[in-house]
């Protein structure tokens, strides 16, 4: 089932993340293998609605999570919609197929006390001479204090930081830009990192060609960061201060938004800071705040017990 043009469309026209494109590619490959094995169907135009329904039923029987099944169906729907728009086929086998419902899960967060212990453990920026220790401090502080996505953090360039006005230019989903404010603590980290940053190896000709010399964050080899690098660093530091099960960069983003709403921040302002396209996505954090209030009520009110 050939989907090369469709995947290129997702990357270059729709500007979806590499992670999303890879997931869609895997879903289409999996569905194509199923159609070949079960129905001896090789061509996308030969797929029927019954085949799609049969595959989804198999996924349910295998115990796949509803979120996983929803994404796989979304990949198929997007693929066949793309084919229809380009006149590659008239019938769409994914129409009128219901999407599995997913229960709303509250986002995982790290308690404020744990995060305070995390940042208190870093040395004073003015006294450290270790650039990569300082960079770790700056990365974690940025994720928690601005709510950046991991991909947004990796994409940051040195020229995106305006120290004078304490503003950060961020390129989010769909290549949309937003400006984020930051405080004096982050400004000090930015300034110190700028002075300690090592020069790239003189014999590394790839750096200037790829633009990595302008990357805000670099690996020990002077290269642009990659997703696993950021994940491993965040997990390492969070493992030292919290017993929360999830310890990913996105947990710091959730913590940023949750702590803002708990502190009384306007939901529309939180939406703008997070770079959400609609308020619906941000409203998840009001549910988190409600759960906290419910627990306080249950413990404190004489009639609050279950």
Q: How many CB atoms lie within 10 A of CB 218?
A: 19
CB 52 within 8 A of CB 93: yes
Give the active site residue among 149, 150, 233, 247.
149
Q: Residue 250 catalytic?
A: yes
Q: Residue ranges of the alpha helices (H) in the chain?
A: 4-12, 18-39, 49-61, 66-85, 112-120, 131-146, 150-155, 184-196, 206-210, 227-239, 249-262, 267-274, 279-282, 284-300
273 φ/ψ angles, rounded to the nearest 5 degrees? -65, -40
50 exposure class (CB count in 10 Å sphere: 0-12, 13-18, 19+): exposed
d(CA 82, CA 94): 12
d(CA 107, CA 170): 23
Task: From 134, 69, 63, select the one nearest 98 (Cα to Cα).
Answer: 69
Give the active site residue among 192, 253, 254, 259.
253
CB 59 within 8 A of CB 72: yes
Q: Residue 253 catalytic?
A: yes
CB 180 within 8 A of CB 273: yes
Task: From 142, 149, 148, 147, select the one nearest 166 (Cα to Cα).
Answer: 142
CB 1 within 8 A of CB 43: yes
Beta partners for residue 116, in sequence order: none
Give the active site residue among 80, 144, 237, 285.
285
Give the active site residue among 70, 158, 167, 173.
173
Q: Residue 149 catalytic?
A: yes
| Structure letter (DSSP) for residue 173 | G
Q: Residue 285 catalytic?
A: yes
CB 295 within 8 A of CB 287: no
Give the active site residue among 169, 197, 246, 276.
276
Active site residues: 149, 173, 250, 253, 276, 285
């Amino acid at each position: 089932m050939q989907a090369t043009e469709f995947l290129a469309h997702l990357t270059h026209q729709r500007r979806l993340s590499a992670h999303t494109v890879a997931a869609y590619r895997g879903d289409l490959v999996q569905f194509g293998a199923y159609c070949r094995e079960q129905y001896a169907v090789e061509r996308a135009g030969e797929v029927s609605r019954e085949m799609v329904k049969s595959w989804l039923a198999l996924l349910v029987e295998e115990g796949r999570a509803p979120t996983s099944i929803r994404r796989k169906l979304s990949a198929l729907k997007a693929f066949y919609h793309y084919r229809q728009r380009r006149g590659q086929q008239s019938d769409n086998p994914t129409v009128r197929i219901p999407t599995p419902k997913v229960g709303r899960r509250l986002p995982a967060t790290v308690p404020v006390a744990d995060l305070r212990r995390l940042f208190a453990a870093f040395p004073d920026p003015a006294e450290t001479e270790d650039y990569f220790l300082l960079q770790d401090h700056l990365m974690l502080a940025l994720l928690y204090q601005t709510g950046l996505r991991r991909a947004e953090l990796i994409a940051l360039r040195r020229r995106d930081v305006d120290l004078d006005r304490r503003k950060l230019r961020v390129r989010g989903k769909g290549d949309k830009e937003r400006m984020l404010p930051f405080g004096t603590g982050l400004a000090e980290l930015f300034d110190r990192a700028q002075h300690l940053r090592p020069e790239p190896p003189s014999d590394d000709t790839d750096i200037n060609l790829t633009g990595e010399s302008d990357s805000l964050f670099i690996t020990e080899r002077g290269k642009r960061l990659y997703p696993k690098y950021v994940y491993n660093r965040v997990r390492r530091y969070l493992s030292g201060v919290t017993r929360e099960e999830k310890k990913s960069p996105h947990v710091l983003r959730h913590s940023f938004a949750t702590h803002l709403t708990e502190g009384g921040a306007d939901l529309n302002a939180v939406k703008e800071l997070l770079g959400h396209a609609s308020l619906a996505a941000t409203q998840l954090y009001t549910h988190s705040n409600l759960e906290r209030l419910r627990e306080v009520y249950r413990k404190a009110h004489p009639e609050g017990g279950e």
